[in-house]
Structures are given as C-alpha cells and as structure tokens.
Amino acid sequence: MDGPGDDHGLDDLRVSEDGLRRARVIAVGRNAAWIVASDEDEPRPASLRKGARHAMLAPGDLVEAQTIDGERVVIDAVLPRSFTLVRRTGGGRVKTMAANVDTIAIVAALVDPPLHFTMIDGLLAFAAQHDVAPLLLLTKADLAGEGAADRVSGLYRAIGVPTIVLQPKTGRGIDDLRTQLAARRALLVGNSGVGKSSIFRALGGIGVVGDLSRFGRGRQTTSTARLFRLGDGFLIDSPGIGEFTLDPMPATELAWLFPEMREPARACRFANCRHLSEPDCAVRAAVETGTIAPSRYASYAEIAVEGAT
C-alpha cells in the first residue's frame, strides 16, 4: 500500500499536444472503465489501449485518455498512484480496491433497512487496518425513533469517528458533507437502500451510468458508477460492500482495530487474551462498566468468531 503524496493535479485542465486529457476513473470493468475528464462533469466509457502501462485500473486512478475519431475514448496511461487500497481475497490473491483515496465514507440507514452495527464496525476496522480515515454518514433519521440519531452518532463520535446525520430531502447535513469532501478523496460504501442515490442527488453529483459491455473485451462486472467532485476532493460510489472484508488475523490484532479496546486489553490477565471467554478479561470488564459500548463489543466478538484466526 503506497503512502499519501501528490495526486498530479486533479483539476489540471491541460490537454497535451498529442490530444491526451487527464481524467479520473470512477468505475472499472474488464479492459474498460468509466472516466470523468478534469474539465467535464459527465462520465464517459473508455477502453484500455492494449499494452497501456498499469493495465489493472481501479476507482480513483488518474489516467491520460484521448478521443479517437471524435467518439471513442481510449486510455493511454495511468499516472503513478499516491495511495493504493488493497486487500487479500480468500484465495490469497491481492485485489486493488481503489487508488488515490484517503477516506472510506460509510453510509448506514438508522432504519429500513435496520441499522447493522456489525457492518459499520467491520468497515471501521477495515479502514483502521488499511490506514485510511473513516467518515460515517447516517440516513433516515426522520423515520427512526426520537433520539436515535443522536444516540448512534454520539456512540461513534466518542471513539473519534467523524459522523454526519443526513436528510438529503431537507438538506440536513449536506453542507457539512460538502465541507468534509472538500478536503477528502473518498470512497462511498454502503448497503443498497441506505440512501446513497439521495446523497448524490443532494450534492448534485453524477447519477447512475450504464454498463461497460459494449466498450471492453469480455464480460463486465461493474454496472454503476457515480462521482461527486468538489475542489480537490471527490466522492466515488463503490458497488459491492462485500469486497470490504477484513483479512484473517489473530483476535489480538483484531482488537487493536477497535481503538477503545486497546488500553483495557493491556490489563487482561493473559497477553494473548481473545476477549471472548478468558478469565480476568479487562475488555469484557470495560463492557460491563460501560467504557466500551456493548454494540461495539458484540461486533468485535462476531467478527472474531467468524473470521479471525
């Protein structure tokens, strides 16, 4: 995983003498991608020139592309990445999730679909594991019980997670989100039905675009893509929340990804305590006293039992 650095001028509008134009990749299929040029708002399908450098594209990549015959767009090169977000698949292969991003923006509905704490906490742990900043966006507060939004947002703000309660139809939280995005390069993650489309409409971002099957060779796997751009910041929708899963790890390492567990874990009787059933566990004691939220511990335990080694 590369470290942060220069992003080669996201809003540089220059076109070189040979007609190359800089653009941002917002969705990827096989041998094709949806891109948005630096001086345009509408996405375009583009094919990858055979033999082009960095043949495996990822959302967030900055590319040089040109239009051929006044219509067909071809990607000639991918600029060096300032950051690469990768994960290992179950078979041990490395998969590039995104490039040049510094934030994972998690969208969760308070109701309809029901709030899924384990999903939120797993994605927060994923962000911590990959050293990218988290941003939590809570939707449908108007449909939840009184005080629900304040309780949930307070829980996550208490552990240092920036949290915004959004009601796109009324505009609640949208200005705050714009402010956050102005300095971030974020990947939007969330289950279907949580209001991602409403967020994009409220921001004025690009809507859903079509599939890539006509533009690339072979079967395409990505069918939608959206981008909101503000200054040097951007927000890219990322289909497929199941892709953001934690790598297998010992429970002791998993606990480190839950920041409120780090200090209590040092006081456990056993150095290799899994914080599940071991005697004299300071983490479980912190749950009982309310220092650690029960929902957060429940998420940890579920992830530890199902996926940790």
Extract the annotated binding site.
139-142, 190-198, 268, 273, 275, 281
According to the model, what pLDDT value does residue 293 have? 98
Q: Measured at the alpha carbon of residue 274, what is the angle toward residues 272 and 279, in degrees to the nearest 5?
A: 85
**Residue 174: its pLDDT value, please?**
94
pLDDT tens for each residue of 204-234:
765 545 555 444 444 433 445 567 777 778 8
The answer to whether the CB of 140 falls within 8 A of the CB of 111 is yes
- Residue range 260-300, pLDDT digits in tens: 999 999 999 999 999 999 999 999 999 999 999 999 999 99
Q: Residues 173, 100: one domain?
A: yes
**CATH number, domain with residue 110:** 3.40.50.300
Residue 17, pLDDT above cutoff 50: no
Domain count of the fold of the chain? 3
The verdict on 133 and 212 lying in the same domain is yes
Positive or negative, the Cα torsion across 215, 244, 86, 93? negative
The residue segments making up the domain with residue 202 are: 84-243
What secondary structure letter does DSSP report for 258? S
Q: How far apart are CA 142 and CA 168, in angstroms?
A: 11
Known binding residues for GTP are: 139-142, 190-198
Domain final residue pick, 60, 78, 96: 78
Residue numbering of the annotated binding site for Zn(2+): 268, 273, 275, 281
Position 2 in a domain: no
**Do 229 and 209 fall within a single domain?**
yes
Return the beta strands (E) in the chain as ranges: 21-29, 32-37, 44-48, 62-68, 72-78, 84-88, 94-99, 103-109, 133-139, 163-165, 185-189, 227-230, 233-237
